[in-house]
Amino acid sequence: MNINKAYAQAIKPKQTEDELEVAKATVEDIEGIIAVAASVGSNNKDHKQGFLMDDYTKNKEKYVEKFKEDIEESKLFYVVRKGKKVVGFLLAYTKDQWINMEPNWIFSTMWKSDFDKKTLNKFVILEKIAVRSNLTGSGIGSRLFKRFREDAKRMGIKDMFSETLISPKPNFASMEFALKQQYHLAGIRYEKFNDKVLTDIVYHRKL
């Protein structure tokens, strides 16, 4: 081992159980990711705390496979670990990945009249960001967002989008996070989910 590298490792402070680490998600994190998702994604949607649309307390095998696929294919999938425990995660997709999953997304969104559609040429979309329900508001989401932005910018991407549910149950916590991160309203989109029609705000911001 290189002497300088060995010295650097020797003097590097060891992570304590209370320290937070932001890292790329691995397959070893899946159980923790599911636990975080289930804490804010169940049949009971708390619009003040924030929530994920899917019910992660059911069909666990389905979500394990989906997250495994995302870990293998997405360059923008992160977790926050407290010690060895996953306490939050963020998943984003490139334009090509997103349009492959949602081919009509651009055309089904009702864009604001003054929205610059040139930003749609190359972008990333923040699909999910979640923090354990007992730790919301503790800055974990902001740390995930910061790392995601840094990496996306290194990929040469300048624009990002995100969606927030406003009907039938508004996700106020997600709206507040969008304002905190200086998003701007770009449009409105309707989508079907479990035989319901949902209304989403589409946000945009520069990276």
Does some domain include residue 1? Answer: no
Residue 8 lies in a domain: no
**pTM assigned to the model:** 0.87
**Overall domain count for the chain:** 1
Burial 28-58 (b: 16+ CB within 10 A, else e): ebbebbbebbbbbbbeebeeeebbbbbbbee
pLDDT digits (tens, 9 = 90+) for 114-129: 999 999 999 999 999 9
Mean pLDDT across 65-92 = 97
Separation of alpha carbons 164 and 201, rounded Å: 5
Is residue 49 a part of any domain in this protein?
A: yes
Is 156 part of any domain?
yes
DSSP letter for each residue of 147-191: HHHHHHHHTT--EEEEEEEEESS--HHHHHHHHHTT-EEEEEEEE
Cα separation, 168 vs 199, in Å, equals: 7
- What average pLDDT does range 42-56 have in this prediction? 76
Under the banding of pLDDT at 50, 70 and 90, the label for residue 46 is low
More confident residue, 174 or 149: 149
Q: Does residue 41 or residue 10 have the better pLDDT?
A: 41
Domain assignment of residue 105, yes or no: yes
Question: Who wins on pLDDT, 7 or 78?
Answer: 78
Q: Is residue 9 part of a domain?
A: no
Question: What domain range is 149 assigned to?
Answer: 16-206
- Among candidates 146, 136, 183, which has minimal Cα distance to 164? 183
Amino acid type, 201: I
Residue 4: inside a domain, yes or no?
no
153: domain CATH number? Answer: 3.40.630.30
pLDDT of residue 194: 86
Does the structure show a pLDDT above 80 at 43?
A: no
Residue 22 inside a domain? The answer is yes
In this prediction, residue 9 carries a pLDDT of 47
- At residue 177, the pLDDT reads 87
